Amino acid sequence: MPGWAAARHCRRRRAISTVPAEYALPTDHCLPLQCIWRWEEHRAQQVFLTQPVGGRVHEYTWARAVGEARRVAAWLQAQGYEPGSRIAIMSKNCAHWIMADFAIWMAGYVSVPLYPTLTAESVRQVLEHSGSRAVFAGKLDAWETMLRGIPEGVQRLSFPYSPPNDFPTWDDIVARTEPLPGHPTRPAPDLATIMYTSGTTGSPKGVMHSFATLGWMGDMAARSNGISASDRMLSYLPLSHAAERSAVQMPAIRTGMPLFFGESLDSFLSDLRRARPTIFISVPRLWVKFQQGVSSKLPEQRLRRLLRVPVLGRVLRRRILGQLGLDSVRMAGSGAAPLPEGTMNWYRALGLELLEGYGMTEFFGLTHMCRPGEVRVGYVGQVMQDVECRLSREGEVLVRSPGNTLGYYRDEAKTRELFTEDGYIRTGDKGAIDEQGRLRITGRLKELFKTAKGKFVAPAPIENRLTEFADVEACCVTGGAYQGQPCALLMLSPEARQRSADPQWRAQMGRDLARKLEAVNASLDDHEQLDFVTVVTEEWNIDNGFLTPTLKIKRNIIEDVYGPRLDAWYAQRQPVVWA
């Protein structure tokens, strides 16, 4: 791979009983702190972080970024926190998020990322459970709300992007603190970070990962995708989530490549065009929004016709990708949810093959990924290097990887439940594996529900089919023991919700949905076929608790809210119900 030497390995020491002993630790050359010190010396004047603020672009070279982190690390140590103390980061993605993570590790502490969209109650829950001694607060939409959740006695620190406050600020600390000397490192089995799951049901769990996990993932992700210092990435998916840290932060640390950040949602496209990433990772929702934006100006049928014209087609492909800021992308990935087949084919026609992947916080990112030229729609690809996967007798996906978590923080019982006796993680996902080793996720074990006919229904595959409909943004298939057939609740896209105020448009939409329902039912077994779909008027979002911070539906919340109305909807005996 360009810019890479083959990694040598030594035998892994068992950190705790749940970590497979036969896996090898990454060499010191791959561990995060060792990489940071190397780039501070060898790429000192190369730009590492690019951050737009107030219309101005700030660039941080490796020397400046690591230099500031050294000073903040020295300040943290001066507070007298014991080694291994937890320090939280509560901010949207920004250059200082990365530098704060560096500083925490340099000082001998453990980073605890918080989603920047949590309620005050959730903030308190995570900080109290982790025992965090301090918290960096940065780019937040609900600054006052989230800060109310910080318990008394937890030191508050602010990034330069924070509203005016009386906390110690990053810039003040850097200005008046001498840098941490030398090149302190941490043993590979040391705890590096605790990442709290987004909590689709119940309370989030603190997933522990070591420096070995982080180093292995960065090295594996870089080698698998041929990432080198000449690549570029835009960091915008939450750094509090394992996907962004494993696919963006860790490969950047491993290779020294530059990272770009956005200023706001409104400036996203201009920030993307500035970065012109060579590798771009996103979620289906954004890939679909890009597609819908282009299709609103150039309908898909006309686009397909134009793309078939040899010279015009090449020009048009470059122009569309250029307007999206994706004209330099050589590898495009998608994860977190299944990608609609129509969307995948639309990008393929533009010359961009979207590669889906699969992973969990408990693996610190990916364990499976599609390979170029071997994509099979509905499958998330083969196992990554050094990863093992098998199915249990119940069809549950079991995975063992060098990225396996050390366990759940302060929860030995759930840690024991997570692992099989031979060190495989129980994912909770049901799956199937084809003849080429490609994995298909067919649902969640705990999401299966039984109808009045005594038949089990897996909602996820049905939801995936319904969300292929362009105007449907989110879907929840439900039912219950008192109903013979399941049904589905649909939330429309913002544009479709706005148009639904027009009675004529709504009538046409109802006919289109009825045809979609008929087509979906034709592909299902009798007991899975939907009795009807209900179009809800409410928007499901993070703030009202219907979605997790990673935009997954909270099934239990949706069922609690709409459950009492199901009988009335079933009684209407209509294929499409407007709530």
pLDDT digits (tens, 9 = 90+) for 331-359: 999 887 778 788 888 999 999 999 999 99
> Residue 444 above 90 pLDDT?
no
- Of 209, 229, 257, the position where a domain reaches its end is 257
CATH code, 66: 3.40.50.980
Where do the DSSP E strands lie in 324-403? Answer: 331-334, 354-360, 365-369, 382-383, 388-391, 396-400
Q: For 388-436, how does the pLDDT look when each residue is reduced to its tens digit (9 = 90+)?
A: 999 999 899 999 999 999 999 999 999 999 999 999 999 988 899 999 9
Provide the residue range defining the domain that includes 138.
Answer: 25-41+56-257
The answer to whether position 87 is within a domain reads yes
The predicted pLDDT at position 19 comes to 42
Alpha-carbon dihedral angle through residues 20, 25, 26, 28, given to the nearest 10 degrees: 160
Q: What is the mean pLDDT of residues 159-172?
A: 92
CA 359 to chain CA centroid, Å, is 9
List Cα–Cα distances, 53 to 66, 421, 451, in angstroms: 20, 50, 53
Rounded mean pLDDT, 446-464: 76
Q: Which of 76-85, 290-299, 313-322, 439-448 has maximum average pLDDT? A: 76-85
Residue 505 forms part of a structural domain: yes
Q: Is residue 320 part of a domain?
A: no
**Half-sphere exposure for 268 (CA within 13 Å, toward CB):** 11
Residues 233-258: tens digit of each pLDDT: 999 999 998 989 999 999 999 999 99
Number of compact structural domains in the chain: 2
388 within a domain of the structure (yes/no): no
> Could you say which of 224, 257, 290 is where a domain stops?
257
The predicted-structure confidence for 469-492, as pLDDT tens digits, reads as follows 878 888 999 886 567 789 999 999
Q: Please state the rounded mean pLDDT for residues 199-215.
A: 83
Query: Does residue 102 fall inside a structural domain?
Result: yes
pLDDT band at residue 27 under the 50/70/90 scheme = low
The answer to whether 200 touches 554, Cβ cutoff 8 Å, is yes
Residue 399 lies in a domain: no
Average pLDDT in the chain? 88
Q: What is the pLDDT of residue 341?
A: 81
pLDDT digits (tens, 9 = 90+) for 82-137: 999 999 999 999 999 999 999 999 999 999 999 998 889 889 999 999 999 999 99
User: For residue 34, is it within any domain?
Assistant: yes
CATH of the domain at 545: 3.30.300.30
Q: Is the pLDDT of residue 10 over 50?
A: no
Residue finishing a domain among 257, 281, 308:
257
Instruction: Give the closest residue to 117 by CA, choosing from 92, 99, 87.
Output: 92
**Residue 495 maps to a domain:** yes
Model confidence pLDDT, tens digit, residues 107-120: 999 999 999 988 89
pLDDT higher than threshold 80 for residue 21: no
Judged by average pLDDT, the poorest of 9-13, 271-275, 496-500 is 9-13
Per-residue pLDDT tens over the stretch 296-322: 888 888 998 898 898 998 999 999 999
The Cα 446–Cα 434 span in angstroms is: 23
DSSP H or E run through 439: strand 439-444
Inform me whether the pLDDT recorded for 442 exceeds 90: no
